[in-house]
Each structure stands twice: as C-alpha cells, then as structure tokens.
C-alpha cells in the first residue's frame, strides 16, 4: 500500500513540475504587448512623414521580435494625445511608449500616484521632478543627441558652401528654427550656435521660427530672401522647413542659389534636392523597442540614454539605409540580429543597419 502511495506521490510531483514548466514556457512565449502614442500624423502633411516613418521602423522590429505593437496618432493635438494616453494606460499592453511633446504627457500623469503600467519615453525626457522622484511607473527614456544634429548640419553646410562659392566668399546664413519651446528645437539651435561661435567667418544675418512646417519655411524664407540678397546658406531645423526654404530661394530668382540643408533624411519632391540632410533618429523608436524587448526578456533594468549618437549626414555610406526608410523596405533588415538574445549581437548603429541591408545579416 505504501509503495502504491509513494508511486502516486512521485507521479503527482513530476506532473506538477511538468505543468509548472509548461505554464512558465507558455508565459515566456506570450508576445510582448506595447502601445505607442505617436504624437504626429499617419499621413503626409506640412511637417513631413517623419512620425509615420518612426512607426514603420518600429513595426519592422515588432514583426521580427514577435511584439504586438499597436499605434495611435495624435496629429500634433495635445488634447487628443492625453486621451490616447489614458486609453493606452487602460489597455492590456505590457508597456506604453510616449513622446512627451511640450511636456503634455507628464503634466497629465505627474499627479497620478496610482499608475501601474510602465511608461517609456522616447525622443525627449519627462519633467525634471519625475526624473528626480523616479516613480515606479517610469521605465526610462531614450533621446537622440539633437545638439549633435544641429552642429553636424552647420558643419555640412559650411563645407558645401565653401566648396561651391570658394573660401574667400563671405558666408551669410539664414537660420530657420523648429519652435521656441521643445527640447529638440532648442538643442538643435544650440548646436548651430556653437558652430557659429567657432566659425566667426559665417555671418548669421537673420533667424526665424518656422514651426517644423514646409509652408512656414517657404513663407518666411521668401520674405527674408526678397529683402536680403546676399544669403548663401540656409540652416533649417528639419527637412520640410528646408524644402520650403529651397522653393522660396528658387522663386525669388536669387543671383546665387544658397546651399540649403535640414534634419530628417526625408524624401523631397522630384525637382527638389537638399544640399545636406542629417538624419537617422527616425530609427530611434526601433532601437528603443529592441532595448525594451531585451530588458523584458532578460528581467533587467531598461538603460536610459539622454544623448544617443544616432545622427549622420546623408553621405553615400547611408544611401541604402535612407532608401529603405523612404521606400518602406526596412523589413529587409533582420532586427533579431540587433537583439541581445542573438548569439552574435550587432550593436544598433546606422553603420551596421546599412551593412545589414548591403550584405545581409
């Protein structure tokens, strides 16, 4: 009788262990659920396709890493963004990813001590008091180095203007900033300002805010260029503004077409080509999603980065990557290769992403 009882006990114990392992394996196999509150537009608009392309890159990562990614678009409407955040926090998502434009998100959530869903900030950090108090719901943040972008754009325009007009030509710049408040706009502006301090031979003759818009870039540029004839460099905070400025320069029939550049790696119109475009940060959401996947699977803390070096000029080395972004073929990249779960992980860099497209990975 005791022998039968012991056999039953052994069988029950083994069954429990097997069931436990099965349940754990099934839990591990469950897809990670992520909700992204995208602050921009899903379709073409005056501020370009940047935010749509951010989503496309994240969707390519999600497909490779078995992540259930759902996205809402706030259309630059901060009231709608707050509503979408509330919906995301009530959803079954494991994590919520947000972009805290003009601190609209943290103004909503900072007073709520009952948040129980982890929130990851990308492209900008939450308000300082949240970084200081470190609430449990704050997963982390990842921000591109906008200062570096502003500086690299100024450097590229200076080199192009010097090559086109000669080293003895007086260089006169029009600067078109993104806005007066956001961290990205102000940091890009500071990058430009440092370059100008280092290069007093470049004369900043006029500056204006164009609110990230191609239409405002055109309207404000044509007014300035009609009155100031010797401008030969136009620095713009993004490519849509730069595209509007280029169109304005052509329409005023300036004696010399200025060198024009912006930030984003956007696809321009058929008859437009910027002299310089600095980009790569459109892939920051993809990088953040891989980091989130790895920290979740490995049970480790998310590592924040406030100045991720992800900006490069549109030189030949990156043309294959830029083309994939613009033509929506980023799914040709095997993003598993950039996850720590891969036995031979590649660092997430623009160089490696371009190499992956060129040679396979």
The CATH T-level fold of domain 147-278 is Rossmann fold (3.40.50)
- For residues 61 and 267, give the distance between their C-alpha atoms in angstroms, rounded to a whole number: 22
pLDDT at position 210 over 90: yes
Q: DSSP for 134-203, please give it.
A: --TTEEEEEEE-HHHHHHHHHHHHHHHHHHHH-TTSPEEEEEEES-SS-HHHHHHHHHHHHHHHH-TTEE
What integer pLDDT is reported at residue 80 of this predicted model?
A: 93
More confident residue, 134 or 10: 134
Say how many residues make up the chain: 361
**pLDDT, tens digit (0-9, with 9 covering 90-100), for 248-296:** 999 998 778 999 999 999 988 767 899 999 999 999 999 999 999 999 9
**Which tokens in the block code for residue 335?**
């993003």
- Sign of CA pseudo-dihedral 6, 12, 18, 20: negative
pLDDT at position 25 over 70: no
Q: What percent of the chain has pLDDT over 90?
A: 72
More confident residue, 131 or 275: 275
More confident residue, 306 or 352: 352
Q: Which part of the chain has CATH 3.40.50.2300?
A: 30-144+281-359, 147-278
Q: What is the average per-residue pLDDT within 74-100?
A: 93
Band of residue 29 on the pLDDT scale cut at 50, 70, 90: low
**Which tokens in the block code for residue 4?**
């039968």
Cα–Cα–Cα angle for 170, 171, 173, nearest 5°? 145
- Kindly list the strands in the beta sheet with 233-236, ordered across the sheet, starting from the edge strand earlier in the chain: 202-209, 171-177, 233-236, 259-263, 276-279, 312-313
* Residue 337: exposure state from Cβ atoms within 10 A (0-12, 13-18, ≥19): middle
30-144+281-359 maps to CATH 3.40.50.2300: yes
More confident residue, 301 or 37: 37
Q: What is the average per-residue pLDDT within 218-238?
A: 96
List, in order, residues 6 or more apart from 273 with CB less than 8 Å away: none
pTM of the complete model: 0.87
Instruction: Kindly report the backbone phi and psi dihedral angles of residue 304, in degrees, each rounded to the nearest multiple of 5, phi listed first.
Output: -75, 155
- For residues 5 and 3, give the distance between their C-alpha atoms in angstroms, rounded to a whole number: 5
What integer pLDDT is reported at residue 111 of this predicted model?
A: 56
Phi-psi label, residue 211: left if phi above 0, alpha if psi -120 to 50, beta otherwise: left
pLDDT at position 163 over 80: yes
pLDDT at position 185 over 50: yes
- For residues 39 and 51, give the distance between their C-alpha atoms in angstroms, rounded to a whole number: 8
What integer pLDDT is reported at residue 12 of this predicted model?
A: 40
């Amino acid at each position: 009788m005791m022998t039968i009882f012991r056999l039953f006990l052994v069988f029950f114990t083994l069954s429990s262990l097997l069931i436990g392992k099965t349940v754990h394996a099934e839990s591990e196999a469950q897809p990670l659920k992520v909700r992204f509150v995208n602050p921009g537009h899903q379709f073409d608009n005056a501020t370009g396709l940047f935010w749509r392309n951010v989503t496309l890159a994240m969707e390519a990562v999600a497909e490779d890493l078995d992540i259930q990614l759902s996205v809402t678009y706030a259309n630059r409407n901060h009231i709608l963004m707050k509503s979408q955040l509330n919906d995301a926090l009530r959803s079954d998502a494991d994590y919520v990813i947000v972009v805290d434009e003009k601190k609209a998100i943290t103004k909503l959530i900072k007073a709520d001590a009952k948040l129980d869903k982890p929130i990851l900030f990308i492209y900008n950090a939450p308000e300082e008091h949240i970084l200081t108090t470190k609430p449990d719901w704050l997963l982390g943040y990842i921000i591109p180095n906008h200062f570096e972008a502003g500086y690299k754009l100024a450097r590229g325009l200076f080199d192009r203007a010097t090559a086109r007009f000669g080293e003895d030509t007086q260089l006169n710049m029009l600067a078109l900033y993104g806005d007066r408040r956001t961290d990205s706009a102000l940091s890009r502006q500071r990058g430009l300002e440092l370059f100008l301090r280092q290069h007093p031979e470049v004369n900043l003759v006029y500056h204006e805010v164009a609110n990230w818009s191609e239409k405002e870039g055109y309207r404000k540029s044509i007014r300035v260029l009609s009155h100031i004839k010797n401008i030969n460099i136009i620095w713009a905070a993004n490519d849509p503004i730069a595209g509007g400025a280029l169109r304005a320069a052509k329409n005023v029939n300036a004696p010399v077409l200025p060198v024009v550049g912006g930030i984003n790696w956007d696809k321009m119109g058929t008859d437009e080509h910027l002299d310089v475009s600095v980009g790569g940060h459109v892939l920051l959401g993809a990088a953040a999603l891989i980091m989130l996947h790895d920290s979740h699977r490995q049970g480790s803390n998310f590592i924040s980065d406030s100045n991720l070096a992800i900006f490069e000029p549109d030189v030949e080395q990156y043309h294959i990557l830029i083309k994939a972004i613009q033509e929506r073929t980023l799914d040709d990249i095997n993003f598993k290769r950039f996850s720590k779960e891969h036995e031979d992980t590649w660092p997430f860099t623009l160089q490696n992403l371009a190499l992956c497209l060129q040679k396979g990975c």
